[in-house]
A and B are shown apart, each in its own frame.
Chain A
Amino acid sequence: MPVGRPDLIAHVFGSVDWAAAQRSETPNSFSLGQLALFVTAGINDRVSVLAEVVIEASAADTEVTVDLERLQLTYRLNDQLNISAGRYHTGIGFYNAAFHHGSYFETPVGRPRIFRFEDEGGVLPIHEVGVSVRGKIPKTGSTLHYVAEVGNGRRWANLEDNEVLDQNQAKSTNVGVSVRPDSWRGVELGASFYRDDIPSGPETSVDHHITALYAVYRTPSTELMGEWLRLSFRPADGFTHYDDHGGYLQASRAFGKIRPYYRYDRLDINPLTPFIGEYGSSIKHVGGVRFDPAAWVGIKSQYEWLSENGGPGGNGVHVQLVFVF
């Protein structure tokens, strides 16, 4: 680099929401979304640092909570080997590693149910503290990519998602591979496999596996995305095991500044499943339109139909203003 200055990039992602649901106990409300402060800097040609701090504010007052959602130090040897250490979004499936806390890049309002954040009733280890390695697989013409991660695993005993210390000696692992054919630009097919040993008592643990499969086609004008995940919990008694499922299908097409979209969102959870049984099952249909009136500003308006735990469905409306600066 001929110029001897550090490269520092800073952006702020924000949103303002209005939502109304058919349920009488939920009044229609305005709210502030997450304000994500994103900073990345190249320390030198090979080493960079990334931080994402999220500020969440109450609509009623100025009380805020601050979370350090991502902090990664990355060493890039070449395109085949990128090593990151810190707190990161796990490479489970596609959505979690592609979309983070700033909702500007997401087409509909909100993440798919299966990828909801831990402190919002999420069922996955969305964040981990550990080491992540990713890159292109050599001799595949940039077509095959891999990811391998070792972390503390999700801290299930404390749903506040505190990963300061692991709860046991076992580390979580996640490996994934994806295919991005150069001749079919925008297409990505992939799979990942996550494993962790979760302590459920002083002497007992639950063997936890997550298998994810996905197919994605994304271009500036067209978006077709589908993911399916199986969450397996096997208590140490050896007699019971629970296999839960979740996923989504999403499609959108841009016509100039207007982009209609649809998402089918599903989560099937056995109520007896350890750790996540209480979160329940849901089916959700989302149909809406995104309008980008100016660069880095978007307005999403969507209709939602939600059925939880097999109950009758309810209607809802959600409008979100998203921006980046």
Chain B
Amino acid sequence: MAPNRAALVALLLWTGPLVPGHVPIPQIPLPLALAVIVHRSNPVDALSFGELRQIFMLDTQTWPHGRKITVVLREKGQPERADAIRLICGLSEEDYEKHILFRTFQGRVNIGPRSIQSASAMLRFVYSAPGAVGYVAADEVDGTVKLLRIDEMLPDDPRYPLRRGKRPPPEAEP
């Protein structure tokens, strides 16, 4: 950052908003956001939050172009798994496991979510599976996968819905 721009930013922070009625939106560090990723060949570029929740709840199991969806989560016990389930599905990890088994027992699901040990393994799996949908911390996304917009927002948008520390949505159906 050039010295004159840095000085201007410092002045703005010290004086507060110069435009009446305009309040700067605080930037949240990127690692707090979960980035939803799919295979690069997937024609889907964006999902609504409701569509994303239906996919992770296995209520939606095929992409619009017909390919089977493979939901990928981090392994049981990892905080990244519980965070994603809470943010996307509004459920505890235990309630989510019950939901998946309930759907499986009903015959509505035959392949449950995959479990992946690390962020790098998640990226490798999504890179190699054309129907996969997974997630990593926003600063871990690389060019091997496609980043999806959620409710038309990317993770650097302050209103992006998938942020750790954000209040979970209401609980979903079992």
Contacts and interface: CB of A to CB of B under 8 A. Distances in A.
A79 B105 contact: no
Contacts of B54: 142, 182
Contacts of B173: 180, 185-186, 188, 218-219
B170 A185 contact: yes
Interface stretch (A70-78, A119-127, A243-251): A70-78
Interface stretch (A44-52, A149-157, A229-237): A44-52
A232 to B, nearest CB: 28
A279 B75 CA distance: 51
B14 to A, nearest CB: 45
Interface residues of B, number: 34
A199 to B, nearest CB: 30
B105 A100 contact: yes
A176 B166 CA distance: 39
Contacts of A185: 170-173
Contact of A219 (B61, B97, B106, B171): B171
Nearest to B109: A40
A40 B97 CA distance: 16
Interface residues of A, number: 39
Nearest to A11: B101
B107 A50 contact: yes
Contacts of A60: none
Nearest to B129: A2
Contacts of A79: 60-62
B68 to A, nearest CB: 4
Given A98-B106, A105-B105, A182-B54, A142 B59 contact: yes
Given A41-B110, A219-B174, A295-B94, A105 B102 contact: yes
Nearest to B107: A50
A221 B95 CA distance: 10
Interface string A210-236: 000000001111000000000000000
B41 interface: no
A303 to B, nearest CB: 25
A194 B125 CA distance: 45
B91 interface: yes
B61 A100 contact: no
9 contacts: A40-B110, A42-B111, A76-B61, A105-B105, A185-B171, A185-B173, A186-B171, A188-B173, A220-B92
Interface of A: 1-2, 7, 9, 11, 38, 40-42, 45-46, 48, 50, 70, 72, 74, 76-79, 84, 88, 97-98, 100, 102, 105, 142, 180, 182, 185-186, 188, 218-221, 295, 324
Interface of B: 50, 54, 59-62, 66, 68, 70, 91-92, 94-95, 97-99, 101-102, 104-107, 110-112, 125, 128-129, 131, 170-174
**A-B complex: 10 closest residue pairs judged by Cβ atoms:** A48-B110, A186-B173, A45-B68, A220-B95, A78-B62, A2-B128, A42-B110, A42-B111, A2-B129, A7-B111
Given A40-B107, A185-B173, A220-B92, 10 more contacts: A9-B104, A9-B110, A46-B68, A78-B62, A78-B66, A79-B61, A102-B105, A105-B102, A219-B171, A220-B91
